Structures are given as structure tokens and as C-alpha cells.
């Protein structure tokens, strides 16, 4: 999947060709032969990555002349300027960001004291000035010759990741190897991007795994992009190549504020956002009435956000729930939605943790949350219970209840059991809750409910007579209990709307909530179930 449009990609390729044609050799780069080995069609140098990430000509480098102070264990007098990492500040779409890029051509990009100190210095200034932090990781790991000093700076960087968390957006790009202690820094940041085929991230490599456990594995099987994106859930976007990764980060930054005290960026909206269009009317026939028939919730989302522009995150992981960014009336919104095409949209452990993390990111950076609900409930089964669905499923419950940003929820088709409660319900603090007329809100679906409520009557019948009675009971259940109107009668649903009115009503709701100010009770911090 490539996020950039063809024109943007063509521009990036042309810029890269221009950079390489210049053939400049910065003072802080590695030997010429090392640079040549790094400059392949699939791999960029540290400076090329920074140049293509930032707006042209905006990079201001810090500590280009910093050198290591270790004169033992074979390093001798080899003290290249920069010590294997490029750090500084520049702009993306005219907005300031702090950035570091590890340079594989200098000591394999290994982290030593001077290397770590440069990264910490940039992060400290980014935290003080309130601008996003972007880290480009490509390192051979801790520099063995510097001993405990290299280990200390993994912890120093991690501590700053924690201090910056919720203060400024943090984005990690894995553009080579990120192993051992280095992997925990990206794990703390808000978004992580890997490149398919050339990126690897793991705690212990194949050789160590074999020595300790006897298990034979490969780099890709252990920590390749596919494993991290689809199975482990560590990665928010798996890029096709390095240009695609850099493009995705630039697009992502367009949805995020500079820091927690600033509003998200806003852009020009359509001239009349409160007029129902032909595209809106497509929603009237998009969702099947039958609860067991699937459809693509992403298509519903694209008809509500501006210009059908939706940036999904963690698409490969827990596909039964959708998380991503869009805009409504030019302003950023975070979207959480059940995806009926995957496991019927049920909430399992992975879906709960994925969505909970996303909700908390949006809440930290003042991004309103728009929820689309079509959920049969939490995933049943022994395996889920043994893996801790009670504790881990509670994370989504906690995240919504803790959120103080504007919360708007649309029940599209069904909201059963605990799934109703956790998916942005009024009871967890949602501000505006809407439902389509065909939505069902109940403890369970009609078939299961009828089998319990009318089991004696049905047991006395057989054949066609039993089926007819079950159908009659189910229709009565849907009308009297499961329809959205009993919920609206109690104020749990604010309005029952036609599907074609969804975009207009969401726009009105978010307009009304622009001035929302809410805070949690005074305390040091909450204790989310981890």
C-alpha cells in the first residue's frame, strides 16, 4: 500500500535523484565506500531520509561536530564527527519538528555516549518548545566498546520518551535494524512505521534465540515488518519502501497538533457542509438489514469525513476494529469503528488494546473522537478468557471513560451486550449519540434472546409451527426491546437519523462541542489495567 499520490511520489523521487547527483560528502558521514553501500534503490542514507522528510532547505543540524570520548578497545583515534547520528530541527508543512536519524555508515549506527547525548539534547528542546519528535532508527545496537555508557543512554532516551508522551506527538520510523533495548523506545512512542522487507525490530536476534531455546528462525520471522504489523501489533503502518514511509509520516502530521496545548490543524471545508448530497444518500442502501451480512465499514467512514480522506492506522492488526484519522468540516477527528468484514466486528483482546491506545492518543492531543458501532459484543471462548480478555478488554472501557475530548457515536446496525457499553456509549461519557432507524441495541440478538425468553413456549411446538412462532417472537423483540427507540426514550440515544443525514448530523454535533471543557477528578494519575 502506498500512501502518497503519484504526483507527490514523483516529486520525492526527483528530489532524491537531485540529492544523489550532488554527491556531497558531509563532514559527519561515514567513509565513502560505506555511503555507497547504503545508497541503494531500497535504502537511503540518514541525511537523505531527513531531507525527504522535511520541507526542502529547512533542516538546522545540531552537534554535527560531536565525537566519542572512548579511546580504548579498538576504536583508537577513529573519532568521526557526528558519532553516527544526525540530529536537529526543521519543518513539515511549515510546522516545526525535531528529528534524529541514525547513520549506519558510522560505526554501524551503534549507540554510544555522544550519540545518545545528541538525541537527548534534541528531545529536551522539542519537549520545551512543544514540537513533534521524529526518530529514524537504523542501528547495530549498543556500542560494545563504550560499555555501560551506551546502555545508560538507551534508558535516558526512554525516559524522555515517557516525559514527552502526551506532551508532543512522537513518531518512530524503523528503516533498518532496531534490536534489544533500542526497541523499547519506539514502543513508547505514539506511532511506529516499518518498511516491508528491509526493516527488523526485535528484542533478541535469531542467533541468541537459537543459543537459548534451540529454535531456528530468521530475521523476517522474528522481527520483520509483516510480523510486527499484523501479529505483534507493534507497527501502525507497513510501508512498501522508504519513500512511502516518509510520505505516510508527512500525511500523519497533517492530522496532529504540535503539542497537547494546541488544537489540531484545520483546513478549508466544503462551502456547504450541512447539505445532504448524492454521496450521502448512498448510505441509505449501503448497510444490509440482515445482521449476519457483512459490509465494509471503511466505506461508511469515507462518506462522512471530508473528501473521503481517511488515514487508517494499524490496518493489518486486529482488522475487526478500524482506527484512523479523518476531517469533519476541515478539522481533525479520530475514528474508531467496528469492521463487520472481519470476525463480524466482534471485540477481542487485540481489538480492545488497539482501539484503547488510539483513543488515548486522540484524547492526549485534543482530537475529537467519532465512533461507528456495529458490534455483536466481546469475543467469547476459553482462549480469550485464558489470555485475559477481562483485564485486557477493560482497557477500551477505561480509555473511553477517561477521555475528555468531544465524543460523538453513531450506532449503525447493532450494539449488543458489553459491546454497546464500551463503544462510546452515553454511559461512558459520550456527548452526542446517534442511531440509524434499523439499529438494534440490546443485551443480545433476537435469535438468542427468543431462545431464552420463550424456551417453554417453543419447546411445546415443533416443525413449521415452531419456526413461525420463533419468527413472531423475534419480530416482537426487535420492535419492543432492540430497536433504537427505547434507548432514545431513555435519553441514551439523542436522535434517530436517516443514514444519509449522518455526515450533516455529525458536523452539527462537533460544531456544538467545539467549546467543550472537561477535566477528570484531581489525582496523580489513573491506574489503567495493564
Pair 78, 106: CB distance under 8 Å: no
The residue among 495, 492, 521 whose CA lies nearest residue 423 is 492
pLDDT digits (tens, 9 = 90+) for 242-285: 999 999 999 999 999 999 999 999 998 877 889 999 999 999 99
pLDDT digits 0-9 by tens, 398-434 = 999 999 999 999 999 999 999 999 999 999 999 999 9
The region of weakest confidence among 68-72, 120-124, 201-205, 456-460 is 68-72
Q: Do 300 and 340 meet the contact criterion of CB atoms below 8 Å apart?
A: no
3-state SS of 20-48 is: HHHCCCCCCCCCHHHHHHHCCCCCCCHHH
* Per-residue pLDDT, 142: 85
Closest CA to 84 of 120, 60, 108: 108
DSSP one-letter code for 379: P
Q: In this structure, are residues 348 and 356 in contact, taking their beta carbons and an 8 Å threshold?
A: no
Determine phi and psi for 7, rounding to 5 degrees.
-65, -45
What is the pairing mode between strands 311-313 and 321-328?
A: antiparallel
pLDDT for position 105: 86
CA distance 448 to 270: 45
- The H or E element containing residue 198 is none
Residue indicated by cell numbers 580504548: 72
Coil, strand or helix at 97: strand
C-alpha cell at 120: 537527548
pLDDT value of position 1: 46
The confidence score (pLDDT) of residue 352 equals 98
For residue 205, the model assigns a pLDDT of: 87
Q: What is 32-253's CATH number, 3.90.226.10, 3.60.21.10, 3.40.50.2000, 3.40.640.10?
A: 3.90.226.10
Higher pLDDT, 336 or 9: 336
For the chain, give every domain's residue range. 32-253, 278-439+483-512, 444-482
Backbone φ/ψ region at 73: left (φ over 0), alpha (ψ -120 to 50), beta? left
What's the Cα-to-Cα distance from 139 to each of 61, 69, 108, 206, 391, rounded to whole Å? Answer: 20, 19, 6, 17, 36
List the CATH code of the domain at 278-439+483-512.
Answer: 3.90.226.10
| pLDDT tens digit sequence for 476-497 | 888 899 999 999 999 999 999 9
Asked if 132 and 170 touch (Cβ cutoff 8 Å), the reply is yes
Question: What DSSP designation does 76 have?
Answer: T
Q: For 324, what's the count of Cα atoms within 13 Å in the CB-facing half-sphere?
A: 27
Global pTM?
0.92
Instruction: Place 66 in a pLDDT band, splitting at 50, 70 and 90.
Output: confident
H/E element holding 335?
strand 331-338
Question: How much is the pLDDT for 212?
Answer: 92
Per-residue pLDDT band at 48 (split at 50, 70, 90): very high
d(CA 147, CA 151): 7
Residue 451: all three cell numbers together: 431462545
In angstroms, rounded to a whole number, what is the distance separating the alpha carbons of residues 441 and 375?
10
What is the number of alpha carbons within 13 Å of residue 327 lying toward its C-beta? 19
Judge whether residue 80 has pLDDT over 90.
Answer: no
Going from the C-alpha of 111 to that of each of 66, 83, 285, 287, the distances in angstroms are: 13, 8, 57, 53
Euclidean distance between CA atoms 231 and 228, whole angstroms:
6
SS3 338: strand
Cell triple for residue 123? 528531545
Q: Is the pLDDT assigned to residue 108 strictly greater than 90? A: no
Q: What is the DSSP string of 296-327?
A: -HHHHHHTTSGGG--EEES-SSSTTEEEEEEE
Burial of 511 (0-12, 13-18, 19+ CB in 10 A): middle
Helix (H) or strand (E) holding 85: strand 85-92
Residues 125-133 have a mean pLDDT of 98
Assess contact for 147 and 135: CB atoms under 8 A.
no
Do 164 and 186 touch, CB atoms closer than 8 A? no
User: Closest Cα partner for 112 from 88, 135, 139, 137?
Assistant: 139
Backbone angles phi, psi at 411, to 5 degrees: -85, 110
Give CA–CA dist 371/334, Å, rounded: 8
Place of cell 411446538: 461
CB neighbours of residue 62 within 10 Å: 15
Tell me what the pLDDT averaged over the chain comes to. Answer: 91
Is residue 72 within 8 Å of 117, Cβ to Cβ? Answer: no
Would you say the CATH fold of 278-439+483-512 matches that of 32-253? yes
184 pLDDT tier (thresholds 50, 70, 90): very high
pLDDT in tens, 325-369: 999 999 999 999 999 999 999 999 999 999 999 999 999 999 999
Residues in the chain: 530
Q: Identify the residue whose cell numbers are 465524543.
A: 407
2, pLDDT greater than 60: no
pLDDT band at 158 (very low <50, low <70, confident <90, very high): very high
Amino acid at each position: 500500500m502506498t500512501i502518497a499520490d503519484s504526483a507527490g511520489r514523483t516529486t520525492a523521487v526527483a528530489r532524491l535523484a537531485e540529492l544523489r547527483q550532488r554527491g556531497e560528502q558531509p563532514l559527519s558521514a561515514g567513509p565513502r565506500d560505506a555511503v555507497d553501500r547504503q545508497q541503494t534503490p531500497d535504502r537511503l542514507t540518514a541525511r537523505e531520509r531527513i531531507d525527504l522528510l522535511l520541507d526542502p532547505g529547512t533542516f538546522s543540524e545540531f552537534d554535527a561536530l560531536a565525537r566519542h570520548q572512548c579511546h580504548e578497545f579498538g576504536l583508537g583515534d577513529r573519532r568521526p564527527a557526528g558519532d553516527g547520528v544526525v540530529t536537529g530541527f526543521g519543518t513539515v508543512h511549515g510546522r516545526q519538528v525535531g528529528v534524529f536519524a541514525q547513520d549506519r555508515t558510522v560505526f554501524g549506527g551503534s549507540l554510544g555516549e555522544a550519540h545518545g547525548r545528541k538525541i537527548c539534547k534534541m528531545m529536551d528542546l522539542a519537549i520545551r518548545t512543544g514540537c513533534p519528535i521524529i526518530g529514524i532508527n537504523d542501528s547495530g545496537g549498543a556500542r560494545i566498546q563504550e560499555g555501560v555508557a551506551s546502555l545508560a543512554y538507551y534508558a535516558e532516551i526512554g525516559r524522555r520518551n515517557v516525559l514527552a508522551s502526551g506532551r508532543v506527538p512522537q513518531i518512530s520510523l524503523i528503516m533498518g535494524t532496531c534490536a534489544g533495548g533500542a526497541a523499547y523506545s519506539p514502543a513508547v512512542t505514539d506511532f511506529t512505521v516499518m518498511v516491508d522487507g528491509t526493516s527488523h525490530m526485535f528484542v533478541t536476534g535469531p542467533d541468541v534465540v537459537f543459543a537459548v531455546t534451540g529454535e531456528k528462525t530468521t530475521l523476517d520471522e522474528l522481527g520483520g515488518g509483516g510480523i510486527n504489523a499484523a501479529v505483534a501489533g507493534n507497527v501502525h503502518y507497513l510501508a512498501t519502501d522508504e519513500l512511502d514511509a516518509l510520505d505516510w509520516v508527512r500525511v500523519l502530521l497533517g492530522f496532529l497538533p504540535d503539542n497537547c496545548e494546541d488544537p489540531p490543524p484545520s483546513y478549508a471545508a466544503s462551502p456547504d457542509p450541512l447539505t445532504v448530497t448524492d454521496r450521502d444518500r448512498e448510505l441509505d442502501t449501503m448497510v444490509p438489514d440482515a445482521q449476519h451480512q457483512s459490509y465494509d465499514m471503511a466505506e461508511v467512514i469515507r462518506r462522512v469525513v471530508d473528501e473521503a480522506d481517511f488515514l487508517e492506522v494499524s490496518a493489518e492488526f486486529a482488522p475487526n476494529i478500524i482506527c484512523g484519522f479523518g476531517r469533519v468540516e476541515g478539522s481533525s477527528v479520530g475514528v474508531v469503528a467496528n469492521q463487520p468484514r472481519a470476525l463480524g466486528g466482534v471485540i477481542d483482546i487485540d481489538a480492545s488494546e488497539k482501539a484503547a491506545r488510539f483513543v488515548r492518543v486522540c484524547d492526549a492531543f485534543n482530537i475529537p473522537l467519532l465512533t461507528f458501532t456495529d458490534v455483536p459484543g466481546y469475543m467469547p471462548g476459553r482462549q480469550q478468557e485464558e489470555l485475559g480478555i477481562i483485564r485486557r478488554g477493560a482497557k477500551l472501557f477505561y480509555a473511553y471513560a477517561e477521555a475528555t475530548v468531544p465524543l460523538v457515536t453513531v450506532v449503525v446496525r447493532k450494539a449488543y451486550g458489553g459491546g454497546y457499553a464500551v463503544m462510546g456509549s452515553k454511559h461512558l461519557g459520550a456527548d452526542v449519540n446517534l442511531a440509524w432507524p434499523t439499529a438494534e441495541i440490546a443485551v443480545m440478538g433476537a435469535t438468542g434472546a427468543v431462545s431464552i425468553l420463550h424456551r417453554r413456549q417453543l419447546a411445546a411446538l415443533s416443525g413449521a409451527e415452531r419456526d413461525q412462532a420463533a419468527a413472531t417472537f423475534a419480530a416482537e423483540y426487535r420492535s419492543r426491546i432492540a430497536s433504537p427507540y427505547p434507548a432514545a426514550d431513555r435519553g441514551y440515544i439523542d436522535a434517530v437519523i436517516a443514514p444519509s443525514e449522518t455526515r450533516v448530523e455529525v458536523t452539527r454535533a462537533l460544531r456544538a462541542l467545539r467549546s467543550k471543557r472537561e477535566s477528570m477528578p484531581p489525582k496523580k494519575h489513573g491506574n489503567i489495567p495493564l
